[in-house]
Amino acid sequence: MQEVNSPKQKPRRSRPVLVADAIKEWVVKRDLSSGDKLPNESAMIDQFGVSKGTVREALRILEAQGLIVTKTGPGGGSIVGEVSVERTRALLANYFYFQDLSIADIYQMRKSLEPELAASLAGKLTSEQILELRNLADQYPQPAKSAEEEKEQHIASLAFHSKLSDYGKNKLLGFIIGFMSQILTELTLYKQLYEPPNYELWRKGREHQLQLIEALVSGNSNKAREIMASHMQVAETLMKQQEAQIVRRFIAE
Amino acid sequence: MQEVNSPKQKPRRSRPVLVADAIKEWVVKRDLSSGDKLPNESAMIDQFGVSKGTVREALRILEAQGLIVTKTGPGGGSIVGEVSVERTRALLANYFYFQDLSIADIYQMRKSLEPELAASLAGKLTSEQILELRNLADQYPQPAKSAEEEKEQHIASLAFHSKLSDYGKNKLLGFIIGFMSQILTELTLYKQLYEPPNYELWRKGREHQLQLIEALVSGNSNKAREIMASHMQVAETLMKQQEAQIVRRFIAE
DNA sequence: TAAGATTTGTTCGTATGTATC
DNA sequence: GGATACATACGAACAAATCTT
């Protein structure tokens, strides 16, 4: 599997990306972690035998991926920087900018994952966490009086799910659920308001949240799963009513 | 919500970053899509009133995120580039480099998602796709004779799942499953081989693949779901036996 | 094949900004 | 405030890739 004679002429990597790769390798080889210092610019210029401009382009590449953070001044320079969730979500959103996700796609996944998350959290939450959830659920104790208000409630509800995903131990599961909540929130923020508030669905949704909290407190994981599953059905109906389209835009940075 | 007096002194965005943002905005505002041309370097130098070096750093940022592709020569320059799955997976992997994912975390998700995917594909595959799956499943018709051979079979099996995820219409679901297959493949590639081949599990795994293909062809979605669920149990046992640790390394680019 | 034109790629020297001591 | 150490930014020049004729 050599790269010789490969018909797929790979587009020759420019020097900045080669340097960026070299730096990444350097970091991994020494098993550096968040906060550890990298050599400064002039050291890299010597080390890799390239000019300042090239080194700087390489550093911008790593910075764009969230792998390093750079500071000026004495004691400054670049350090390894923990990649943030926000940036990662943004990068993932950029990918789906080109992929035409539908509401149905997102709900196919939510219906599988959210009940699983709820079940895994039953009996595992601290009283502070429970309190936070209650606060979110109580944020809108009355049915929405206008489409605008319903929108706000919908967003608060998504924040509830996002918060829940933070409480789980499974970082992958949490990330994906948080990502979907973000997409749906943006969708809700930007969408047209042409539907009147739906009282029946509102009532069910709120009821679900309260029942869910109760199940989480009592540690009944099967019940938590069931409630969340019903809730997803309701939420899906609500979203599909709006015939919303996924907002196409770059985010990142 | 002004940025004045914000206690959270946000780390002043450098000029390349600002230029990169401006370019992104420019692209979105015109609703450009994959392949459309951006102004060339000198035009940007004029347009933004910055130096060549600054423009180039901005372009490297966008390139690192997969948003543009740059070519030299006449008619060259930068174009909007569809963000590739590979790059996106790599960027996501960078995030989880810091998050200590466990095998259990990944399988909690696989157990939820893979059966769902299987069910959604029942009766929807073309004969070419079925053939490809059969080929992958038939790649190792005999039980592994060595640990090394078992490793190869395990990787082939993951390729089977990856392929399956490509066939679905749900891009988000496909992406996540593909991502997990990739992580597990790397894990398998780099892990120590201290366990002897496990014939019983091998037999079950292969049986599952064949039964699954059959269910997919006949369009029995409930059966497809069930088989995949059992298969996930087996696969999880196999992985956990190895006590593998998630490989920590940067990928990307 | 070869030459010329176009556009990105890379270097260097210099100057400026910024944080620490 | 001044000295120091570092990143940030500019501009001019030259190198390399690639398209056209």
Q: Which of A10-14, A65-69, B103-107, B149-153 has the lowest mean pLDDT?
A: A10-14
Confidence (pLDDT) at B8:
43
Q: Taking CB atoms and an 8 Å cutoff, what residues of chain B touch A20? A: 64, 253
- B53-83 pLDDT, tens digit per residue, is 999 999 999 999 999 999 999 988 999 998 9
B66 touches chain A (CB under 8 A): yes
Give Cα separations from A50 to A23, B93, B187, B224, B253 (angstroms): 13, 29, 35, 56, 20
Are the beta carbons of B95 and A83 separated by less than 8 Å?
yes
Q: How far is A161 from chain B (nearest CA, A)?
A: 17
Q: Does residue B10 sit at the A interface (CB-CB below 8 Å)?
A: no
Mind listing the pLDDT tens digit of every residue in chain A (253 residues)?
323 333 344 567 889 999 999 999 999 888 888 889 999 999 999 999 999 999 999 999 999 999 999 999 898 899 999 899 999 999 999 898 888 888 889 999 999 999 999 999 999 999 999 999 998 888 777 777 777 777 788 888 889 999 999 999 999 999 999 999 998 888 777 665 556 667 777 788 888 999 999 999 999 999 999 999 999 988 888 777 765 555 455 554 4
pLDDT one-digit tens code per residue, B157-203: 889 999 999 999 999 999 999 999 998 888 777 666 556 667 777 78
User: Is the CB of B248 inside 8 Å of chain A's CB atoms?
Assistant: yes
Mean pLDDT of B103-128: 92
Residue A120: closest CA among chain B residues belongs to which residue?
A: B108
Do A250 and B64 make contact, defined as CB atoms within 8 angstroms? no
pLDDT of residue B193: 53
Mean pLDDT of chain B: 85
Domains and CATH numbers, chain A: 15-80 (1.10.10.10), 86-252 (1.20.120.530)
Write down the pTM of the prediction. 0.85
Of B62, B63, B83, the CB nearest to A98: B83
Find out whether A80 and A34 touch, Cβ atoms under 8 Å: yes
Q: Is the dihedral of CA B165, A186, B19, B95 positive or negative?
A: negative
Which pLDDT belongs to residue B195? 62
The answer to whether residue B125 scores a pLDDT higher than 90 is: yes
Name the minimum distance, in Å, from the CA of A64 to any CA of chain B.
Answer: 5
Q: Could you write out the DSSP letters of every residue in A72-84? A: -STT-EEEE-PPP
- Angstrom distance, A16 CA to D7 C1': 18
State the Cα–Cα distance between residues B206 and B153, nearest whole angstrom.
10
Burial of residue A5 (CB within 10 Å: 0-12, 13-18, 19+) is exposed
CA closest to A28 among chain B residues: B249
Provide the pLDDT confidence category of residue B1 given band limits of 50, 70 and 90: very low
**Mean local confidence (pLDDT), B194-213:** 80
Predicted local distance difference test score (pLDDT) of residue B11: 66
Tokens at A206, concatenated: 């709120």
Note the CA–C1' distance, A62 to C15, in angstroms. Answer: 26
- How large is the average pLDDT for residues B121-150? 85
Q: What is the pLDDT of residue B3?
A: 31
Could you tell me if A52 and A41 are in contact, meaning their C-beta atoms sit under 8 angstroms apart? yes
Chain C, protein-covered positions (CB within 7 A): 4-14, 17-21
Å separating the CA of residue A72 from the C1' of nucleotide C17: 9
Protein residue with the closest CA to the C1' atom of nucleotide D19: B74
Residue B10: pLDDT band (50, 70, 90) is low
Q: Which two tokens stand for residue B135?
A: 């080929």
Beta carbons of B23 and B58 less than 8 angstroms apart: yes
C-alpha distance from residue B49 to each of B27, B41, B80, B120 (Å): 19, 12, 22, 53
SS3 A7: coil
Residue of B nearest to A104 (CA): B170
Residue A63: list chain B partners with CB under 8 A.
61
pLDDT attached to residue A4? 31
Q: List Cβ neighbours of A206 (8 Å cut-off, separation of 6 or more).
A: A137, A140, A141
DSSP calls for chain B: --STT-SS------HHHHHHHHHHHHHHHTT--TTPBPP-HHHHHHHHT--HHHHHHHHHHHHHTTSEEEE-STT-EEEE-PPPHHHHHHHHHHHHHTT---HHHHHHHHHHHHHHHHHHHTT---HHHHHHHHHHHTT--S--SSHHHHHHHHHHHHHHHHHHHHHSS-HHHHHHHHHHHHHHHHHHHHS---SPP-HHHHHHHHHHHHHHHHHHHHT-HHHHHHHHHHHHHHHHHHHHHTT----------
If you average pLDDT over residues B209-215, what whole number do you get? 93
